[in-house]
């Protein structure tokens, strides 16, 4: 029997994901270095990352309401536009606080399109393709993430401000792609009521896989979206005189991630979510522990690749486990926004707390603490049941209501 084809709407979102990631990959290696140009400490430079994540965290509940009122597509496009404008304005920041405010505004737009696209993908994904579609979407982002830092290193001669303008342009391109090609989905027109039942957050929290997913997403947000973006460029700059070392490290992570994320989705749909979540957390955690003690550039790059492999195993299964809990025929705005908030909370706390550890004790202990957090999440999942078996015949048996 031939595999079921991926819906056309998914390919539209995948294409947009690549364009977004291409611009993000150009900005990520230079963002902390750009902040340091304003003569601030490592902790203050890390706060640029945390401010972005903090606004994502605070605005996530409002994003769920906006989706309910205006539809996923409109919220997705509005979020991209907000990030594009605020990111482009970063190139013209004159003082540190301006950069901090602009990145905070970008965080609002980011949570809008992130929560919206999760809802779109779950609604478009048949149960037997959930992890594969999740891995396809994430894989497109990672391929863009591989190309982004490489392209950014080639554009290094343009200075630290140019990447923000390039990223803004890529986001406007993504808006055009989605706005002109994605059909009407999920009550996209104002005044049209979405008839799907709503799953309450309380009902989701009764499910052990959802609670475990919150814990692992928090650890992943702390590591991948917080500490890795905030401290890896600073660590690489301190360890190596190679000006492209930071971009190389982030590219190595993305390469390891992209190498396994597509097959990981297929494996998860065939064999279950839990084995790959546990393996991903363990691999990423151990490699992160040793990363901060690297004494040679090549060692750091190898460990970055291994960490990327672990994250690639984790992502599709974790996303699919949450989709299993919600189900294709139900809305889960609050459930999805809370799941997203768990990663954002980690991304807020990670750079700040680990930045303090790095300032006080060095990069080695800072990365070791981050790795241990991932290992704790792996242990949590070992005591949690899988979700795939129940999804093969029916959604997880839970009570759904029409209350928000």
pLDDT score of 93: 85
Position 3 in a domain: no
Is residue 397 situated within a structural domain? no
Mean pLDDT over 23-48 rounds to 78
Look at residue 398 and tell me if it is in a domain: no
Note the pLDDT tens digit of each residue in 198-228: 677 788 888 888 999 999 999 999 988 778 8
**pLDDT value at residue 156:** 62
- pLDDT recorded at residue 369: 93
Look up the CATH number of the domain holding residue 118. 1.20.1250.20
378 is a domain residue: yes
* pLDDT value of residue 400: 37
Residue at 206 is within a domain: yes
Q: For all residues of the chain together, what is the average pLDDT?
A: 81
Q: Out of 130-134, 143-147, 194-198, pick the least confident.
A: 194-198
Beta carbons within 8 Å of 62's beta carbon, 6+ residues apart: none
Q: Quick check: is 53 in a domain?
A: yes
Over residues 100-128, the pLDDT tens digits come to 899 999 989 988 888 888 878 877 777 77
Structure tokens at 172: 């406007």
pLDDT the model gives residue 270 = 84
Per-residue pLDDT tens over the stretch 275-318: 999 999 999 999 999 998 988 888 989 999 999 999 999 988 89
Residue 13 has pLDDT above 80, yes or no: yes
Q: What is the pLDDT of residue 393?
A: 39
User: Does residue 404 belong to any structural domain of this protein?
Assistant: no
Band (188; pLDDT cuts 50, 70, 90) = very low
The parent domain of residue 247 ranges over 8-391
The answer to the question of residue 41 being in a domain is: yes
In the prediction, which pLDDT does 328 show?
63
150 or 58, greater pLDDT: 58
Domain count, the chain: 1
Burial of 329 (0-12, 13-18, 19+ CB in 10 A): exposed
pLDDT at res. 402: 36
């Amino acid at each position: 029997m031939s595999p079921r084809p991926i819906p056309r709407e998914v390919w539209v979102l995948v294409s947009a994901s690549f364009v977004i990631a291409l611009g993000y990959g150009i900005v990520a290696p230079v963002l902390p270095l750009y902040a340091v140009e304003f003569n601030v400490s490592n902790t203050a430079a890390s706060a640029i990352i945390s401010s972005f994540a903090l606004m994502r965290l605070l605005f996530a509940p409002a994003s769920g309401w906006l989706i309910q009122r205006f539809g996923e597509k409109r919220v997705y496009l509005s979020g991209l536009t907000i990030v594009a404008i605020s990111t482009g304005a970063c190139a013209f920041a004159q003082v540190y606080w301006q950069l901090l405010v602009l990145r905070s505004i970008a965080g609002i737009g980011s949570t809008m399109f992130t929560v919206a696209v999760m809802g779109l993908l779950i609604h478009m994904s048949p149960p037997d393709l959930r992890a594969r579609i999740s891995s396809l979407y994430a894989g497109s982002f990672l391929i863009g993430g591989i190309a982004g830092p490489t392209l950014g290193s080639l554009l290094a001669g343009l200075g630290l401000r140019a990447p923000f303008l390039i990223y803004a342009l890529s986001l406007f391109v993504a808006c055009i792609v989605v706005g002109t090609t994605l059909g009407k989905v999920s009550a996209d027109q104002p005044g049209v009521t979405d008839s799907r039942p709503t799953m309450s957050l309380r009902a989701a929290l009764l499910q052990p896989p959802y609670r475990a997913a919150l814990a692992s997403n928090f650890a992943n947000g702390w590591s991948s979206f917080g500490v890795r973006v905030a401290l890896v460029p600073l660590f690489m700059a301190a360890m190596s005189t190679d000006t492209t070392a930071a971009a190389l490290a982030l590219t190595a992570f993305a390469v390891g991630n992209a190498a396994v994320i597509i097959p990981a989705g297929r494996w998860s749909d065939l064999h279950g979510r839990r084995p790959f979540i546990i393996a991903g957390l363990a691999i990423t955690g151990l490699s992160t522990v040793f990363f901060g003690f690297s004494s040679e550039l090549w060692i750091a790059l190898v460990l970055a690749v291994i960490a990327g492999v672990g994250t690639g195993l984790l992502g599709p299964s974790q996303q699919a486990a949450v989709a299993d809990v919600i189900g294709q025929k139900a809305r889960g705005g609050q459930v999805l926004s809370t799941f997203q908030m768990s990663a954002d909370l980690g991304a807020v706390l990670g750079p700040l707390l680990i930045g303090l550890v790095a300032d006080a004790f060095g990069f080695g202990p800072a990365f070791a603490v981050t790795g241990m957090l991932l290992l704790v999440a792996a242990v949590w999942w070992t005591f949690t049941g899988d979700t795939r078996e129940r999804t093969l015949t029916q959604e997880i048996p839970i009570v759904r209501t029409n209350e928000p």
